[in-house]
Amino acid sequence: MYKFTTIITKEGKWHIARCVELGVVSQGKTIEESQKNLKEAVELYLEDNPRFKKLHLNVAPLVTTLELDRV
């Protein structure tokens, strides 16, 4: 079993879903649809890139924030 970090943002009418570890992106009209589409895209990506199957992708990346003063 693989666990990936997903970030979903809304851009216009679409929800954009990104897999942080692999850089795979998909979209959907709802959050659920974008997640479903991303899952399918990641599965296809892993089929085409079998070397990633051997990586230990069970360690979550560090997710943090960045603050900037106004420029």
At 52, which CATH number? 3.30.160.250
Conformational region of residue 12, where left means phi above 0, alpha means psi within -120 to 50, and beta covers everything else: left
How many domains does the chain divide into?
Answer: 1
Q: What is the band of 2 on the pLDDT scale with cuts at 50, 70, 90?
A: confident
User: What is the domain range of residue 4?
Assistant: 1-71
Q: How far apart are CA 31 and CA 18, in angstroms?
A: 12
Digit-coded pLDDT (tens) for 20-67: 888 999 999 999 999 999 999 999 999 888 777 666 566 667 788 889
Work out the end-to-end distance of the chain between its first and last CA atoms, rounded to an integer number of angstroms: 44
pLDDT of residue 57: 60
Taking the whole predicted model, whether its pTM rises above 0.75 is answered as yes
